[in-house]
Amino acid sequence: MNKDKIRNLLNIIFMIGAIVGVIYYLTKDRTIGTYIILISMCFKIAESSLRMIK
């Protein structure tokens, strides 16, 4: 896999995780929703670091 495909995959995982986290945060438990959002942010940080390394 080249870098663009990996970045796209990490971005998709981040977007899905952020949406699920916000929905969970608003409807069920705020603590677990926050954890889901934080974990998805780790994927975004990894994607951003790949973009910076180039």
Which two structure tokens, joined as six digits, stand for 52?
A: 């910076």
At 8 the pLDDT is 94
Q: Are 24 and 32 in contact (CB under 8 A)?
A: yes
pTM, full prediction: 0.85
At 4 the pLDDT is 87
State the 10-residue block means of pLDDT for the chain, 54 residues long. 89 96 94 95 94 84
